[in-house]
Structure 1
Amino acid sequence: MDHSNMDHSNMDHSNMDHSNMDHGSMMGAESGSHGDHLGMMMQMSFYFGYTDVVVLFDGWVINDIGSLVGSMVGICIIAALYEGLKVFREHLLRKSMVTVSYHSVAVPGPENLPVVETQKTTGSRILSSAHLIQTLLHVLQIVVSYFLMLVFMTYNVWLCIAVAIGAGIGYFSFGWKRAIVIDINEHCH
């Protein structure tokens, strides 16, 4: 029986007894996907807490100061290595572009005497090991940058500070080696 065209606006269920209804098996948008964290809502403003903080995965939960400090150190290291990865990719790109081949060509010179001229050619190919490595490192860079963004989006101030300090340490450690200071490949961090 099709009830889609029926008007249900006048139905009143306020007099019904709802005390015996079991809503425990119902899966809403806020439950079912967080394992032990059923019904837990995502924080939408910055906070300084250190209990029940889920970081990236259900298995990575901060419940005490020790796990907070350990998570901060780990996140700081990941953010620093992310900065190193960007510099390493640039270094590999410069190194692959330095591969120069020389060709000697005889060209007519003054009085039609052949003159040997050396031409230098550089180039990159789509099917090269250097390009494949750059592609894999680019994918890794994107994944790590989105992970760091998601850590920041926990809105936990301590974790946000860890991302910022790690990025600062990484830039201080590796950034001085960069030939290009402005990174147009920056995605979300």
Structure 2
Amino acid sequence: MSMTFEASSSVTLLFDFWDVHGPAGMVLSVAVVLLLTVFFELLKVSRVWLGHRHQPAPPAFTPPFPNPLFPNAECHDSNAALAPGPSGSPLSSSPSESRLVPPEPRPPSVMNSWVHHGVQTLLHVLQVVLAYMLMLCVMSYNTWIFLGVIAGSTLGYFLAFPLLGEM
């Protein structure tokens, strides 16, 4: 086997049955490798997305008291938030005041956590298998297959990157 890149249309990829002879077979093989690489990039982003989705969300409220780091910053309606309600206790009467109290975070159930971890593990194994398969495709030292992996990685990242911004 040659250890330098060559631009031939004959190559054996990964398995004995994936033996390419001719330009049509090479175009089809490059397309398959390109799609596998796009799937690999999308899989990486989906694992990150699932990891962020499983994390608890930060509290969705702002405290009614001034920031100790910036004492001169104004706190809007600080007197109204601490004004006693009809029962005489602060923060007790109106519905608008009740939203100042953060909701109780619900701890994720143990079963849900294990299912999430199992799914993440399966996706990780799939990602590693695809990565090694793509590496072995590149190690066929065929220029067209190498360019297919590079183009697939570029296209996959281009398609997947906007999804990272939506987390």
TM-score, normalised relative to structure 1? 0.59
State, as a whole percentage, how many aligned pairs show the same letter: 33
Partner of 1:71: 29
Q: Which runs of 5+ in 1 are unaligned?
A: 1-41, 101-112, 180-189
Partner of 2:115: 129
Q: Per-residue displacement from partner, 1:143-172 (whole Å, max 9, x unpaired)?
A: 000000010111100000000000111000
1:63-102, aligned counterparts within 5 Å?
63-98=21-56
> Distance between the aligned counterparts of 1:66 and 1:176, measured in 2?
34
Q: Give the Å deviation of 1:120.
A: 3.4
Aligned with 2:159 (options 155, 162, 173): 173
Question: Over aligned residue pairs, what C-alpha RMSD do you find?
Answer: 2.8
Secondary structure at 1:176 match in 2: helix
Partner of 2:150: 164
> Distance between the aligned counterparts of 1:95 and 1:168, measured in 2?
25
When residues 63 and 72 of structure 1 are mapped into structure 2, their CA distance, relative to the original with a 3 A threshold, is same
- Which one has a larger percent helix, Structure 1 or Structure 2? 2
Report which of the two structures shows the higher radius of gyration computed on alpha carbons: 1
Query: How many pairs were matched up?
Result: 126
1:1-189, aligned counterparts within 5 Å?
42-51=1-10, 53-98=11-56, 120=105, 128-178=114-164
> Distance between the aligned counterparts of 1:124 and 1:150, measured in 2?
41
> Distance between the aligned counterparts of 2:12 and 2:49, measured in 1?
36
> Distance between the aligned counterparts of 1:158 and 1:147, measured in 2?
16
> Distance between the aligned counterparts of 1:124 and 1:80, measured in 2?
34
Asked if structure 2 preserves the Cα contact closer than 8 Å seen for 1:97 and 1:123, the reply is no
Partner of 1:28: none
Q: Give the Å deviation of 1:93.
A: 1.1
> Distance between the aligned counterparts of 1:125 and 1:65, measured in 2?
54
Q: Give the Å deviation of 1:92.
A: 1.1
Q: Give the Å deviation of 1:176.
A: 2.1
Q: Which runs of 5+ in 2 are unaligned?
A: 59-88, 92-100
Q: Give the Å deviation of 1:124.
A: 8.4
Q: Give the Å deviation of 1:125.
A: 5.6
